[in-house]
Amino acid sequence: MFRKLLYLVFLCLAGLIAGSSPAWGQKPLPADFKKFTTPLLGENVLVFDPSMDNMEIQSVLDTIFKRQTVRGSEFSRNRYALLFKPGRYRLDIRVEYYMQVLGLGRSPEDVIIEGAVRSNTTHGNSVLTNFWRAVENLTIVPSPDSTVVWGVSQAAPMRRVWVRGNLQLFDKGYASGGYLADSRIDGVITSGPQQQWFTRNSSMKSWVGGNWNMFFLGVNGAPAEDWPAKPYTTIGETPVIREKPYLTFEENDFSVRIPAMKHNSAGAGWGNEKSVKLIVNSKEFHVARPGADNAASINSALAKGKNILFAPGIYPLDESLKISRKGTLVMGLGLATLVPVTGKPAIEIADVEGVTVCGFLIDAGEKKSDALLIAGSGVTAKTHGQNPLFLYDMFFRVGGPHIGTAKSCLVINSNNVCVDHVWLWRADHGNGVGWEKNWCANGLVVNGSDVTIYALFNEHFHEYQTLWNGENGRVYFYQSEMPYDPPSVEAWKHGNTYGYASYKVSDNVKNHDAWGIGIYNVFYDAPVVVDQAIETPPWIEDRIRNKIIFWLNGNKESYVKSIINGKGGRIDVNNRKATMK
């Protein structure tokens, strides 16, 4: 996402104020907020009941919102989950950094918010940095003649939501990417200046607008595809998905429900879904708390066969979290954040089936990790097609909140892995940012076969943003920016090739498919030359469908020669956009 220079200066100053050294604790909430908490989930989870006074709930929500809008809040240490028990509320819920708003019903229809649940412009003149927030599992009934405004960019999912009205995916100025799934929008969705957007398994009255790359997968009411005359990629059914697990409050217990697998599906699934219920108690779960739990206590619980529910907060890890039991669920609330501090991965998942990991930020530590999350101990012929590993809403950062470095963010070695919404980000602003500071070669490396990714956001890494070595991979929607800061043509050249392609499928791969591939460029410093945005074996070229590259800004002597393998139009300051089927 391209940011205006003035806003970059503001963010840098904010970063200086925040400081460059990691600090893991968060600011305590006022003492009188304790009545909204529960001992089970800790002080950073606030639970609201429809019997409570709505004005008092509104005051609590406004206090948290204001706390998360202060200078430096983009890299705040505060994390909050705001939970609503089934019932009807009349509220204006403004959602800011590190706020997750969750309904606790079996269905989104069980929690009704009359008024607004919204994300607006609060920093600068756009929503280009409206990251790290979420809304899930509730119904929004907007006030008469009003529209639900969800002005966001990356890492801001809206899931299992019923909007009984219109939905607007922007506020002031530009917006740069977002995610909507398993939802029903009764009215019109307007994208306005949104540059790219991914929608899956939902329904809408209609869609208005579109700039670069708008993707619809299993969406009832989606616009017809007419690429590249219109920036729409429309596919009628989602081949395989299991919707993200969700927290409920049933029969006076907190539970997690895991929906069943779906094949060739369209529309939201919560009207008639089947699910497995896991009660959040000492038999089924270990509830991890920031400051109280560490890698040893969490690994001990995993070894005992427990699922893990992370309360909001930041968790420095001196050892990797080891997930080795079939069917384990590891779930974060309130953008729970894992930080490996000794150079080991934050999470290592053994090559077992049915594991689910969802709802985390993973920040690289100052000591270099080979990877931040590894799925599978090595390349194997073992398959898990009947019960895949699922990753949902996983967001990775190298630099930004503090100094960090890694070789790669996400490495997938297992077969039959399904990833549903991931943002891999080498920071272009904040703390510890610079070509030689927050070093990371690749955002994503896939070595396993039959890996499927929905909504892949991947930006600013030193080499290939995406490196795909496994067979039968499928990617539905890709949003990527090449790094902003190569210091010279020679510094970003390897062998006789100028620059690194953003999307690289290795030369020995026989089968690979991708749809809706958007790659963008901002080279701020020295002139940069890139041979191609996408690099694949020649027999795969035609299976990379609906491609766009865009020259956004930066050094006016920089250019990208081709879209894929020397084919497709060059982009530069005079010819800023190129597309191919």
- What mean pLDDT comes out for the span 130-134? 97
Contacts for 226 with CB less than 8 Å, ≥ 6 apart: 232
Inform me whether the pLDDT recorded for 284 exceeds 80.
yes
Distance of CA 9 to the CA centre of its chain: 25
- Would you say the C-alpha torsion 103, 106, 111, 117 has a positive or negative sign? positive
> Can you give the pLDDT at residue 71?
82
Q: 383-394 burial, b for 16+ CB within 10 Å, e for fewer? A: ebeeebbbbbbb
The tokens describing 349, both together, are 């998942």
Secondary structure (DSSP) of 239-298: EEEEPPPEEEEETTEEEEEEEPEEEEE-S--TTS--EEEEE-STTTEEEE-TTT--HHHH
pTM for this predicted structure: 0.95
The tokens describing 124, both together, are 């600068």
Q: Give the span between the Cα atoms of 83 and 63, in whole angstroms.
A: 16
> Would you say 136 and 157 are in contact if contact means Cβ atoms under 8 Å apart?
yes
Which residue among the candidates 436, 481, 490, 535 is catalytic per the annotation?
481
> Would you say 502 and 483 are in contact if contact means Cβ atoms under 8 Å apart?
no
Confidence of residue 6 (pLDDT cuts 50, 70, 90): very low
Active site residue 481: yes
Q: Give the span between the Cα atoms of 112 and 105, in whole angstroms.
A: 10
> Can you give the pLDDT at residue 19?
38
pLDDT in tens, 431-470: 999 999 999 999 999 999 999 999 999 999 999 999 999 9
> Can you give the pLDDT at residue 76?
95
- What mean pLDDT comes out for the span 156-173? 96
pLDDT in tens, 385-413: 899 999 999 999 999 999 999 999 999 99
- Would you say the C-alpha torsion 31, 33, 34, 35 has a positive or negative sign? positive
> Can you give the pLDDT at residue 21?
53
Contacts for 23 with CB less than 8 Å, ≥ 6 apart: 77
> Would you say 484 and 522 are in contact if contact means Cβ atoms under 8 Å apart?
yes
Which range, of 71-80, 218-227, 352-361, averages the lowest pLDDT? 71-80
Inform me whether the pLDDT recorded for 280 exceeds 90.
yes
Secondary structure (DSSP) of 450-494: S-EEEEEEEE--SS-SEEE-SSSEEEEEEEEE--S----TGGGEE
| % of the chain beyond a pLDDT of 90 | 89
pLDDT in tens, 365-389: 999 999 999 999 877 878 898 999 9
Q: Give the span between the Cα atoms of 69 and 36, in whole angstroms.
A: 22
pLDDT in tens, 513-530: 999 999 999 998 889 999
pLDDT in tens, 293-322: 999 999 999 999 999 999 999 999 999 999
- What mean pLDDT comes out for the span 40-66? 97
Please name each of the domains of the chain with its CATH number.
Answer: 5-20+36-242 (no CATH), 307-580 (2.160.20.10)
> Can you give the pLDDT at residue 20?
44
> Can you give the pLDDT at residue 302?
98
- What mean pLDDT comes out for the span 95-121? 97
Inform me whether the pLDDT recorded for 16 exceeds 80.
no
Confidence of residue 4 (pLDDT cuts 50, 70, 90): very low
Run of H or E including 412 = strand 408-412
Asked if the bond preceding 228 is cis, omega within 30° of 0, the reply is yes
